[in-house]
Structure 1
Amino acid sequence: MEKLCVLAVVTLTVFVCVTNGQQTCAGRRCGDCVINGTNCHWCAQVGFNFTRCGTLEELNRNNCTDIKSKKQQRIDLIKNEVVQDRTGDDTSDAIQLQPQHVRVYLNPNDEMFTWDITYRVARNYPVDLYFLADPSNTMIQFRDTLARLAGDIGRAVGNITEDYRFGYGTAMDKTVLPYTQSSPKHMENPCKSSRSTCAPPYSFQHSMKLAKDISEFERQVSATNDSANDDAPEGGFDGLMQVMVCPDLIGWRNRSRRLLIYATDSDYHFAGDGRLAGIVIPNDGRCHTDPVTNMYTKALYQDYPSVGQIKEKVKENKIILLFTVGKTAYEGYKKVVDVIGQQSTAEKLDLNDSSNITRIIQNTYRTIRESVDILIEEREDIYWELRSNCGSGSDILQQQSKCEKVGVGKPIQFQMKMRYTGTECPTDPSQWKESFKINPEGLKDELMVDVEYNCLCDCQLPGQAEVNSTKCNGFGTFECGVCKCNEGWSGDNCTCDERLTDIQACSPSGGNKSEDTTPTICNGRGGCQCGHCVCDLPEYSGEFCQCNGKKCGDLDDPCSGNGVCECEECRCNDGFIGDRCECPLSTDNCENNGTICSDNGVCECGRCECNSSYTGVLCEQCTNCPEGQCDSNRACAMCKLMDDGKSGDMTREECERDCDHVTLVGDLDSVRRNDSQTCKFKGPDNCVMSFILHLVDNERVVFVKETTACPPKPANVVILAIAISAAVFLVALILLVLWRVFAYFYDTIEYSKFEEEIKNPKWGFDDNPLFVSPTSRYDNPMCDKPDEKRF
């Protein structure tokens, strides 16, 4: 048993190895064939009579002279500007990612294709910093510090890049209960303390467009009036959304690192909280800030944005969020950052000092600038890997897309490896091309990658392929030695019209119904193939199998061999007439010694039609003449046939004396000659007697057939009636006996059961639970008591 197991394992291993070693090549077109594997090729030779798709060895063995192979995977650089810093005169933008646009050609069933990407941190790369502040009176110290430290912040950022812009705005909350008191008095002065006066409440207000003007930034921050709302959380998400989606209002530059700094000491409202005020319309993520008043106009009509919407707009607009928040709100915003990602961070703000804002901004920007995370849009049918050594100088590349502590001006190389995961090209040619983007996280720099799948051989492309070629019946493209038929046509040479339904193509009426006809395919005599009728039987022909060849005679010799059958009608050759061209116009067959039919008939259809009293092929025999009449030999023929002593008018003696010229035979055809005359007579029993006569040495000889043709005798009605009655009676008697036997056995079984039940009774006397007695019994408790003394 152990040896058998080892043998089975070895056999299976050999089979698997042989199977894996075989190259499977298949495909009806060149492109479909060559993508099956590295050794699959296509023979484009015209008139090649073997399988066109096969291995190189197979095609060479079959002497193919034009072999097409799989294309090589490659990359075309469409835009490849070298990474560079921004010039001082602002005439050119900084380029940090190279190349910028490529086209990659991939093959199904092929290896990974490798190409390179370069990333380099540019010096003086533009940065836009927009400060969104909470204007509540608890943030007064922060705003004072921000205004006081504006110059320091500018200088700190300037140490990293000289091209920076500052912007400023404030965000509070929706001006409706329960977020803000909506009374006129409160709307005029929302601060609860009568000793302080606050600005009317609002949701979001843009104050300063992005600009490199530190003094203006200080003035705008210092000019911020305090305001207040009624609940603890703030509506800062409304402000964040408007800052991100209003690029013209805010002044975001197209190619800059965008940093949005939100400062608050309170928690936040998010999507769904608006329902408390009856605001149920979701936030649409669009800009609704009035460019004149710089105020958000949809605060009372749209709900707060969700964290998911904030994340979407951060990614879409390449914005980095920095939450500088108080200690009590830090954990809440930390969770928001975990969801948003995209290099966003949350830092604790010292509300008592707020001087750490400069350090936070400087450190955050430096960390963001000196790290890169290459983001690649996912595609279901493309597998990719990104490898790099992050500038470490190591020859070993690790699979990673993120590098930390990237030095300014130092190029970092990433190796991009791609592979098309499909085993065949999509059936829809529009899906042979697709595009995706590669970009560093948080930056506008991007690399556009156009992918094309090598689904066609060069001989299938315009210029080499013949459109509407005569080789394809004018209804297809001749490519790579074969025809690719247009829509509605098929077949090796596009001769099959499939534009119509079977009824339309193969019905005599073209599928049109009338009151007295119903469309039938090929008149019910065949099937529709390739838009043409294929008749079931050889005798049918015609466009719709409407012609029956049997109406022209024998299928092997139609029209008697004297014409051509044209759809059930014979077209006769010269010299022949008749429905089946069976009649020659010539009288050669009717001539006899210079006469036509011995002058005893007429020649019709090449045969003699004899006058009465004459017979024979050429009407040469006279039936009423003394030497040839049938009646004169009838008596002798009957007497020889009958052996009852007398037959007809002759006795036995007369028969033996006068009828020596009569002979009995089994078959008349064996003794028949061209000059034979056939005679038939009906006897008294209605039986037909046949004999022939002809001349032998000028003497009449008669041959009589031994058997006669007698009509069937009528059935005996009496005997038939008695037989039917007897059969019915017999069947009834049998059924009666069977019923009686069955009844006997059935009664015997039932009686046995009855006796058994008598001997062993199983019933008892039980009360019916549903029975209620008509009488009731009651005991009188006083009835049996002894008499007591009465006083």
Structure 2
Amino acid sequence: CECVCMPLLCLCVCTSLVSLGLPFTVFLFLQNFSKEGETSSSRCDSLSNLIARKCKRQDIINPQSELSEIVNDPFQIRKDNVIQIKPQKIRLALRRGEYPTFKFKRAEGYPIDLYYLMDLSYSMKDDLEKVKSLGKQLLDALTSVTKSIQIGFGSFVDKTVLPFVNTNKEKMKNPCPTKSQKCQPPFDFKHVLKLTNNADTFNTEVQKQHISGNLDPPEAGLDAMMQAAVCGDIIGWRNVTRLLVYTSDDGFHFAGDGKLGAILNPNDGKCHLNSLGFYEDSHKYDYPSIAELAQKLAENNIQPIFAVTSKIMPIYQELSKMIPKSAVGELKEDSSNVVQLIKDAYNNLSSKVIMKHNNLPDGVRIEYKSKCSDGENVNDKNGTCSNVKIGEEVEFIVTITAEKCLDKTYTFEIRPLGFTDKLEIELRTECNCNCDDSFEMAEHCNKHGSIKCGICSCTNNRIGQFCECDPGQQSTQELVTACHRDNSSASCSNQGDCFCGRCTCHTSPKKKIYGQFCECDNVNCELNLGKLCGGHGTCDCGTCKCNSGFSGSACQCPQSDQRCKNNNGRICSGRGTCECNQCKCNTGYEPPHCKECPACPSPCPKYIHCVECLGFDSGPYKDNCTASCTNIKHNKTGTVKQKPCKEKSSKDCWIIFSMTELDGVSQYEVVIRKEQDCPKPPNIAAIIGGGVSGVLLIGLAILLIWKLITELYDRKEFRRFEQEKTKAKWQDGDNPLFQTATTTVINPLNN
């Protein structure tokens, strides 16, 4: 129980807990109950705890819930009055421990209103012919269920704007594919026949209907359902079971699709039917969303039955999941099975009972436990029972929880979806502790205050649990400020009460609270291995005081360094510190003993001059080798086995050696191979001879290459000459100066 030390406020908080119905909250109004340092909130506790503290039951306020039945008429079946739920009205003063129950009994012959809503787009032409003679069949089929039935008729196509219909003038008059066919102009929704029990009237009105047409496959079915739900007076709905049969062979438009036709206003969920039954504002409002439609159907107690063809069954099955108390059936292509489909769907819907509540006040929630006729118990947000037969009785246990006090009496309803019966509940919360111990200027309050419910309300600027404190010349603000450690802290650190400018710390069996401002306790210290101060010390005002042999902020460290010593007995190999019996190594070195540094660069290049002077008495450090290489111990040997280093000396010789890091910082032992790998001096004669020979060979090679190229070129030219020579052909010619010695003359007259 959260209370402050102002008496009236403490009382209010405790009584508000009573209103919540929490199982531990009762209130004690006995005087002199609170001990010094104990707040008035200790009066709010469980009944068992107060009795354990020797409190008498007559001093304990423990209000109970009150439930009274206002109307509880028995189940009955009459033509003018059918009762399927009892009780019908209760009054509840809520606290805890008692839950109202009510029963539902499915009545036989419950009246039915059935509104037949048909898609009249061109693809439903065959179906319309079948429906024109459907009235008597529908009434006959449902007469076996109830003697009181009414049927009505409405139709839908789509919004009369592009791109949903063809807005050409000729097509607006006759939207059929060919001019020889007769179709009525397109429309969104048309209410044709008000609910009636006359089958002939139904058939007559449906006979007058003609098919229509639109452009896109989805239809305005949701628009039509919304108008059929909210135009109750025009449709003629009675206060009985309401069925809305929806038949179509295609999908449906929903919220947002209207933007395709420049319709931006969201659906307002209101009736817009004109005197002819047409939805006249369809071009002004978008299609409704599925959630909006489901809400209006539930508000108006309408159960939809979707009779659709097989190709679009999956679409409407998903739609049915989002609309409570709805059913889906497969419609044959010519609607020949629609009567049996409606009858089966009605039996399925009426045998399922789903409870729903409305108008719940803020801070109140409801849960249901259903005891169904098959013996099954169901706990869920909505009470549900399936397969409830006619005459069977089911019971619902309702848990109503108030999370805060209500400012007045509220009324809300619980009713089964699809039925008109309801349970009306008047709810108020029990938020007052009715104490009868009020006294003015009571002795208990040092005659400086009145007492109510065992708590003093002080007068004359007196303060304190018993009005014992007189602040004198100090203001209340000064007294309150004296209980704050600093300007940013809470009064008495939220662990005590401020009386007369000093803190009186709260008492608790689980912890000790102390300090001038109640800022200290013995439990808020660091944990180790789930134990306060590691189990090796005590908590004192946020700090662990460790037992002998332990240290650390949570006494987690044994005072020993054995785990930090290496094989030589050196702590952390001289390259770290021992903290909490574990080595904290220098950068790069690894625990447990800081022996190795895998990430450190090799020391071989750094100390090659020391290796050269120690091993071979040469190099830059030759003259002061001992002084320059004090951190290096060396050992000449013939073989280097461990991680050999190979570095070049000042004489360009390769020195092979290994370095082992000793305890401490930059301390090494060096093993050096006795011999250096020095390169042999060059052979000058061979170099000169080789150079001269190379030049001669190169010149000779160049001459040979030149000779080879010219030879190949000459041979190629010679072959070409020979080929041209063989191709030459010489012609015979006459000498123009030559005259032959013989002349022949022919006489033309001589035949």
When normalised by structure 2's length, the TM-score is 0.54
Give the equivalent residue in structure 1 for 2:277: 294
Name the counterpart of 2:353. Answer: 372
> What is the letter of the counterpart of residue 95 of structure 1?
I
Is the 2:120–2:211 Cα contact (8 Å) retained in structure 1?
yes
One-letter code aligned to 1:289: H
Structure 1 residue 76 displacement after superposition: 2.0
Q: 1:485 to 1:348 in 2, by over 3 A?
A: farther
Deviation of 1:504 after TM superposition, in Å, equals 10
Distance in 2, matches of 1:299 and 1:35, equals: 49
Describe the SS at the equivalent of 1:458: coil
The verdict on how the C-alpha distance between 1:313 and 1:503 changes in structure 2, with shifts beyond 3 A counting, is: farther
Give, in whole Å, the separation in 2 of the partners of 1:250 and 1:371: 26
Q: Give the Cα separation in 2 of the matches to 1:260 and 1:31.
A: 47
Q: Specify whether residues 305 and 383 from structure 1 end up closer, same or farther in structure 2 by C-alpha distance, changes over 3 A only.
A: closer
User: Are the equivalent residues in 1 in contact too, given 2:18–2:431 (CA < 8 A)?
Assistant: no
CA gap of 1:305–1:68, structure 2 versus 1, over 3 A, is same
Q: Which amino acid in 1 is paired with 2:337? A: N
Q: 2:247 aligned with 1:263, yes or no? A: yes
TM alignment of 1:203-218, pairs within 5 A: 203-218=188-203
Q: 1:182 aligns with which of 119, 143, 167?
A: 167
| Residue in structure 2 matched with residue 688 of structure 1 by the alignment | none
The 1:407–1:33 alpha-carbon spacing in structure 2 relative to 1, beyond 3 Å, is closer
Return 5+ residue gaps in structure 1 as ranges.
Answer: 1-25, 508-520, 537-747, 754-758, 763-781
CA distance in 2, matches of 1:366, 1:788: 113
Letter of the 1:345 counterpart: A
Deviation at 1:309, TM superposition (A): 2.8
Does structure 1 residue 234 correspond to structure 2 residue 222? no
Distance in 1 (alpha carbons) for counterparts of 2:281 and 2:447: 64
Q: Which residue does 2:414 correspond to in 1?
A: 438
Q: CA deviation at 1:367?
A: 3.2
In structure 2, the CA distance between the partners of 1:477 and 1:181, relative to structure 1 (3 Å rule), is farther
Q: Give 3-state SS (helix, strand or coil) of 2:406's partner.
A: helix
After superposition, where does 1:16-55 map in structure 2 within 5 Å?
Answer: 29=14, 32=17, 42-46=27-31, 52=43
Report if the CA contact (8 A) 1:76-1:102 is conserved: yes
User: Who is 2:343 aligned against?
Assistant: 362
CA displacement, residues 56-76 of structure 1 (integer Å, 9 cap, x when unaligned): 786697686951242334422
Identify the residue that residue 301 of structure 2 maps to in structure 1: 318
Residues 71/503 of structure 1: CA separation in 2 closer, same or farther (3 Å cut): closer
Distance 2:465 2:207 in 1: 84
What amino acid is the match of 1:316? E
Distance 2:166 2:102 in 1: 57
Rate the CA distance shift 1:477–1:436 in 2: closer, same or farther, 3 A: farther
AA in 2 matched with 1:344: S
Using a 3 Å threshold, how does the CA distance of structure 1 residues 326 and 484 change in structure 2: closer, same or farther?
Answer: farther
Q: Which residue in 1 is equivalent to 2:329?
A: 347
Distance in 2, matches of 1:149 and 1:126, equals 20
Deviations 1:408-456 (A, max 9, x none): 3x25131415375xxxx85x53389877643212223222345555554
Does residue 76 (structure 1) correspond to residue 61 (structure 2)? The answer is no
Cα distance in 2 for partners of 1:497, 1:295 equals 82
Specify whether residues 533 and 302 from structure 1 end up closer, same or farther in structure 2 by C-alpha distance, changes over 3 A only: same
Task: Measure, in 1, the Cα distance between the counterparts of 2:305 and 2:113.
Answer: 13
* Residue of structure 1 equivalent to 2:535: none
- 1:290-316 deviations in whole A, cap 9, x for unaligned? 332322233223332233333232223
Shift of 1:384: 3.7
| Conserved 8 A contact 1:528-1:534 | no
Note if contact 1:43-1:66 (Cα within 8 Å) is conserved in structure 2. Answer: no
Is structure 2 residue 147 aligned with structure 1 residue 200? no
In the alignment of these two chains, the number of paired residues is 498
Cross-structure match for 2:661: none
> Deviation per CA, 1:656-700, whole angstroms, max 9, x where unpaired?
xxxxxxxxxxxxxxxxxxxxxxxxxxxxxxxxxxxxxxxxxxxxx
Q: Give 2:137's aligned amino acid.
A: D
Give the deviation of 1:321 after TM superposition: 0.7
Deviation at 1:250, TM superposition (A): 1.8
Partner of 1:147: 132
Specify the code of the residue in structure 2 equivalent to 1:258.
R
Cα drift, residue 228 of structure 1: 0.9
C-alpha distance in structure 1 between counterparts of 2:29 and 2:117, whole Å: 69
Q: Any idea what the Cα deviations from partners look like across 1:10-48, whole Å, max 9, x if unmatched?
A: xxxxxxxxxxxxxxxx99846758999878764434565
Aligned residue in 2 for 1:479: 452
Cα distance in 1, alignment partners of residues 101 and 151 from structure 2: 36
1:266/1:457 Cα in 2 relative to 1: closer, same or farther (>3 Å)? same
- Higher mean alpha-carbon deviation, 74-83 vs 234-243, is at 74-83
* CA deviations over 1:530-554 (Å, ceiling 9, x no partner): 9999699xxxxxxxxxxxxxxxxxx
- Residue 552 of structure 1 aligns with which residue? none
How is 1:723-738 mapped onto 2 (pairs within 5 angstroms)? Answer: none
Is 1:223 aligned to residue 223 of structure 2?
A: no
Aligned to 2:595: none
C-alpha RMSD of matched pairs (Å): 5.3
How far apart in 2 are the matches of 1:161 and 1:503?
Answer: 81
> Residues 521-600 of structure 1: matches in 2 within 5 Å?
none
Secondary structure of 1:241's counterpart equals helix
Q: CA offsets, 1:263-300, max 9 Å, x none?
A: 2222222333333333344x324124233232223322
Larger Rg: 1
Within the alignment, does 1:399 sit opposite 2:382 as a pair? no
How far did 1:258 drift? 0.9
Tell me which residue corresponds to 1:97: 85
- The amino acid across from 2:313 in the alignment is Y
What secondary structure is seen at the aligned counterpart in 2 of 1:284? Answer: coil
Cα distance between partner residues in 1 of 2:59 and 2:502: 41
Q: CA deviation at 1:346?
A: 1.8
Q: CA deviation at 1:165?
A: 2.1
**Partners of 2:56 and 2:116 in 1: CA distance:** 74
CA distance in 1, matches of 2:202, 2:448: 73
The answer to whether the Cα contact below 8 Å between 2:19 and 2:405 also exists between their aligned partners in 1 is no
Offset at residue 382 of structure 1 (A): 5.2
Unaligned runs of at least 5 residues, structure 2: 1-10, 36-41, 504-623, 630-648, 653-701, 715-751
**Residue matched to 2:262:** 278
Could you give the per-residue CA deviations for residues 755-786 of structure 1, whole angstroms, max 9, x where no partner exists?
xxxx9699xxxxxxxxxxxxxxxxxxx99989
In structure 2, the CA distance between the partners of 1:27 and 1:504, relative to structure 1 (3 Å rule), is closer
Q: Matched residues in 2 for 1:258 and 1:465: separation?
A: 59
Distance 1:430 1:30 in 2: 13
- Residues 224 and 39 of structure 1, relative CA distance in 2, 3 Å threshold: closer
Aligned partners of 1:452 and 1:381: how far apart in 2?
11
The two structures have a TM-score, normalised by structure 1, of: 0.52
Instruction: Report how far residue 136 of structure 1 moved.
Output: 2.7
Q: In 2, Cα distance between the equivalents of 1:170 and 1:476?
A: 78
Cα pair 2:66 2:93 within 8 Å, conserved? yes
Partners in 2 of 1:382 and 1:61 — Cα distance? Answer: 35
Letter in 1 for 2:178: S
Aligned in 2, Cα 1:262/1:761: closer, same or farther, shift over 3 Å? farther
Mark the CA change 1:49 to 1:258 in structure 2 (over 3 Å): closer, same or farther.
closer
Cα distance between partner residues in 1 of 2:188 and 2:450: 66
When residues 38 and 116 of structure 1 are mapped into structure 2, their CA distance, relative to the original with a 3 A threshold, is closer
| Partner Cα distance (1:145, 1:169) in 2 | 15
The corresponding residue for 2:567 is none
